[in-house]
């Protein structure tokens, strides 16, 4: 018998007693609650330089040899993050397509990490795997996508969800590719696909990563059906094997919805895989009053949706859905001898996607879906869209703003000085407005009063772009944004005319 105490209890440098853990956790939760409560009073971003950010936490410090008290570490980490971050949960954050985290999702990530199930295999995560499966069914049900029979899995985000659909399409078109590689056999097909130039850059990455190369993407502007048919016939006679059509349910730049029902019909006619990138807009199909075309996503062979966008899940949570669950197995499955996970009537997620060990991303999505309910989500999405529309109308009514586009919850606009309005469309004016609005975007960020991003519209028009996937944003915030754009627009215009356009400064 070994009487050494180490035999029964070991003291590891990382361990924390449950009493101490409780104290650390309570204190951290208090700080987070204060932070969330004070979010609206903070700048959206401190807009610091890289040098300032690095100086704030001694970025050059070498790896510490000795440990540090966890209370001191957590205090410091929290205050560093609260003082030097951009807050996408701030009511005046409208940049890119990034949502603030649902509070229940914040707590869910903590709980998920505490139990730490490995959702790669059912046996390692019995309940968590079943919760993920239910989450997938609920997401599919929310968007009206074959709720009874579809398959899918959670991944890190939109890019991975789209890549997953792309790989399923490739394996369906050319099953031997998994063994032979893209050019592995003399008779390997020259695969090609169709998409609009407005497609998010995940598509370039997918074509590149899968070995097809970006030349395999045959761009068809605005996905016009006649052009598609002509291109398809040409490709066939040139010896290509078209295999995939990609449509966007809400483009990244302006939120435009591709003609999804027509794309579905075209794909069906030619036996092509139809993939819909719904990373931004798919969930809007559930909300009343959104474009009818969105319903075309229900005809897709695969869909990417992104709970960390319009379901307000904390990063990261994307989701790939497929009409036929077997298509994911066909694209990803291997059965190594070191895994003993086969069992009837269960899913092993390692077997149907690219990841092996996987975290419990589903918990935050599953809890948020129940917290708000489908009706709560429909309302939040509708409200976000109404706010974007309001911004568009405010811009349209203001003599110094030009309303450019409004689709789903994205509005684009620009600042146009009153004296330049009569010269809109003249190249020198357009060049100046592009320059002005680019400087204005930086000034808005610098101010910390709001954060927006930009879009470049057809013809090269530089637009300010606000995307509202933000359950904290109110009508007052939107009004403040339009005032801010006008106020800073005047300042930036005055400064810029003095510097770069003395001819225009005559005014
Ligand atoms: C339409 C669309 N697809 C794909 C993506 C990529 O998603 P993620 O950033 O989650 O990888 C985005 C991101 O904005 C998007 O808007």
- Asked if 257 and 249 count as a contact pair (C-beta separation under 8 A), the reply is yes
Residue 85, judged by CB atoms within 10 A of its CB (0-12, 13-18, 19+), counts as middle
Cα 277 to ligand 1 centre (Å): 8
pLDDT band at 1 (very low <50, low <70, confident <90, very high): very low
Tens-digit pLDDT profile for residues 84-100: 999 999 999 999 999 99
As a whole-number percent, the residues of the chain with pLDDT over 70 amount to: 97
Ligand 1 atom nearest the C-alpha of 248 is 1
Ligand 1 atom nearest the C-alpha of 252 is 16
The predicted pLDDT at position 4 comes to 56
> Whose Cα sits closest to atom 16 in ligand 1?
252
Mean pLDDT in residue range 16-27: 98
The predicted pLDDT at position 148 comes to 73
**Does residue 507 register a pLDDT over 50?**
no
Ligand 1 atom nearest the C-alpha of 316 is 10
What's phi and psi for 276, nearest 5 deg?
Answer: -115, 125
Cα 81 to ligand 1 centre (Å): 25
Tens-digit pLDDT profile for residues 444-479: 999 999 999 999 999 999 999 999 999 999 999 999
Mean pLDDT in residue range 400-407: 98
The predicted pLDDT at position 501 comes to 58
Tens-digit pLDDT profile for residues 343-363: 889 999 999 999 999 999 999
Q: Cα angle vertex 355, ends 63, 197, to 5°? A: 100
Ligand 1 atom nearest the C-alpha of 97 is 14
Give the relative orientation of helices 475-500 and 427-447 as an angle to the nearest 10 degrees.
Answer: 120
> Whose Cα sits closest to atom 5 in ligand 1?
158
Tens-digit pLDDT profile for residues 154-201: 999 999 999 999 999 999 999 999 999 988 877 888 999 999 999 999
Query: Which of 166, 113, 383, 176 is CA-nearest to residue 274?
Result: 166
Ligand 1 atom nearest the C-alpha of 161 is 11
Give the predicted TM-score (pTM) of the model: 0.96
Task: Say which residue the tokens 């917290």 belong to.
Answer: 371
Mutation pick for ligand 1 pocket among 95, 156, 158 (CB with most ligand atoms within 8 Å):
158
Ligand 1 atom nearest the C-alpha of 160 is 11
Mutation pick for ligand 1 pocket among 157, 253, 282, 304 (CB with most ligand atoms within 8 Å):
157
The predicted pLDDT at position 480 comes to 98
Alpha helices in 181-259 (DSSP H): 202-209, 225-237
Cα 160 to ligand 1 centre (Å): 9
pLDDT band at 135 (very low <50, low <70, confident <90, very high): very high
The predicted pLDDT at position 503 comes to 60
Give the CA distances from residue 143 to residues 72, 281, 287, 377, 402, in Å, rounded to whole numbers and listed in that order: 46, 10, 9, 12, 34
Residue 221, judged by CB atoms within 10 A of its CB (0-12, 13-18, 19+), counts as exposed
Task: Say which residue the tokens 């499966």 belong to.
Answer: 133
Ligand 1 atom nearest the C-alpha of 250 is 1
**Does residue 321 register a pLDDT over 50?**
yes
> Whose Cα sits closest to atom 8 in ligand 1?
158
**Does residue 60 register a pLDDT over 80?**
yes
The predicted pLDDT at position 32 comes to 98
The predicted pLDDT at position 3 comes to 53
pLDDT band at 313 (very low <50, low <70, confident <90, very high): very high
Displacement of CA 86 from its chain's centroid (Å):
17
**Does residue 66 register a pLDDT over 50?**
yes
Cα 362 to ligand 1 centre (Å): 19
3-state SS of 242-259?
Answer: EEEEEEEECCCCCCCECC
> Whose Cα sits closest to atom 9 in ligand 1?
158
Residues with CB under 6 A from ligand 1: 96-97, 157-159, 162, 200, 202, 248, 252, 277, 279-280, 306, 318
Mean pLDDT in residue range 12-37: 97
Cα 202 to ligand 1 centre (Å): 7
Give the relative orientation of helices 260-269 and 225-237 as an angle to the nearest 10 degrees.
Answer: 30
- Asked if 368 and 104 count as a contact pair (C-beta separation under 8 A), the reply is yes
Ligand 1 atom nearest the C-alpha of 318 is 10
pLDDT band at 506 (very low <50, low <70, confident <90, very high): very low
The predicted pLDDT at position 384 comes to 98
Cα 165 to ligand 1 centre (Å): 14
3-state SS of 135-172?
Answer: HHHHHHHHCCCCCCCCEEEEECCHHHHHHHHHHHHHHH
Bond into 316 cis (ω within 30): yes
Cα 378 to ligand 1 centre (Å): 21
Mean pLDDT in residue range 479-494: 98
Rounded Cα gap, residues 503 and 211, in angstroms: 53
The three-class DSSP label of residue 43 is coil
Cα 78 to ligand 1 centre (Å): 28
Mean pLDDT in residue range 46-54: 97
Cα 91 to ligand 1 centre (Å): 21
């Amino acid at each position: 018998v070994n009487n050494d105490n180490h035999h029964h209890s070991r003291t590891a440098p990382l361990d924390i007693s449950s009493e101490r853990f409780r104290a650390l956790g309570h204190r951290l939760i208090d700080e987070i609650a204060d932070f969330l409560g004070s979010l609206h009073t903070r700048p959206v971003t401190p807009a610091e330089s890289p040098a300032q950010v690095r100086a704030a936490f001694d970025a050059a410090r070498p790896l510490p040899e000795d440990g540090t008290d966890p209370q001191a570490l957590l205090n410091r980490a929290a205050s560093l993050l609260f003082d030097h971050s951009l807050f996408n949960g701030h009511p005046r954050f409208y940049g890119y397509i990034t949502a603030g985290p649902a509070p229940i999702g914040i707590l869910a990530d903590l709980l998920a990490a505490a139990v730490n199930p490995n959702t790669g295999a059912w046996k390692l995560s019995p309940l968590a795997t079943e919760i993920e499966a239910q989450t997938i069914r609920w997401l599919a049900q929310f968007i009206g996508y074959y709720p009874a029979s579809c398959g899918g899995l959670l991944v890190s985000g939109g890019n991975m969800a789209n890549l997953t659909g792309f790989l399923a399409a490739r394996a369906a078109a050319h099953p031997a590719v998994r063994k032979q590689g893209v050019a592995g056999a003399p008779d390997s097909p020259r695969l090609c696909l169709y998409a609009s130039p407005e497609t998010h850059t995940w598509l370039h990455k997918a074509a590149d990563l899968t070995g097809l190369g970006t030349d395999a993407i045959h761009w068809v502007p605005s996905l016009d059906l006649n052009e598609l048919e002509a291109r398809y016939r040409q490709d066939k006679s040139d010896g290509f094997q078209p295999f995939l059509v990609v449509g966007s349910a809400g483009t990244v730049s302006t939120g435009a919805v591709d003609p999804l029902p027509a794309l579905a019909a075209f794909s069906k006619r030619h036996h092509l895989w139809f993939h819909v990138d719904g990373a931004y807009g798919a969930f809007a199909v559930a909300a009343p009053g959104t474009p009818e075309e969105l319903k075309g996503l229900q005809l897709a062979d695969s869909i990417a949706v992104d709970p960390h966008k319009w379901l307000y899940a904390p990063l990261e949570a994307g989701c790939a859905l497929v009409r036929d669950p077997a298509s994911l197995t066909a694209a990803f499955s291997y059965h190594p001898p070191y895994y003993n996970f086969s069992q009837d009537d269960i899913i092993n997620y390692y077997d149907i996607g690219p990841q092996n060990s996987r975290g419990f991303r589903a918990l935050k999505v599953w809890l948020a879906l129940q917290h708000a309910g489908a009706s709560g989500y429909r309302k939040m999405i509708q409200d976000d869209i109404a706010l974007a529309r309001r911004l568009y109308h405010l811009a349209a009514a203001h003599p110094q703003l030009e309303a450019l586009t409004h689709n789903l919850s994205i509005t684009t606009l620009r600042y146009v000085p009153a004296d330049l309005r009569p010269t809109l469309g003249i190249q020198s004016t357009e060049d100046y407005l592009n320059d002005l609005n680019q400087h204005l975007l930086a000034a808005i960020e610098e101010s910390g009063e709001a954060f927006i991003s930009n879009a470049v519209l057809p013809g090269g028009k530089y637009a300010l772009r606000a995307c509202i996937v933000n359950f904290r944003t109110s009508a007052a915030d939107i009004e403040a944004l339009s005032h801010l754009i006008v106020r800073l627009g005047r300042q930036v215009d005055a400064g810029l005319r003095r510097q770069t356009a003395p001819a225009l400064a005559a005014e």
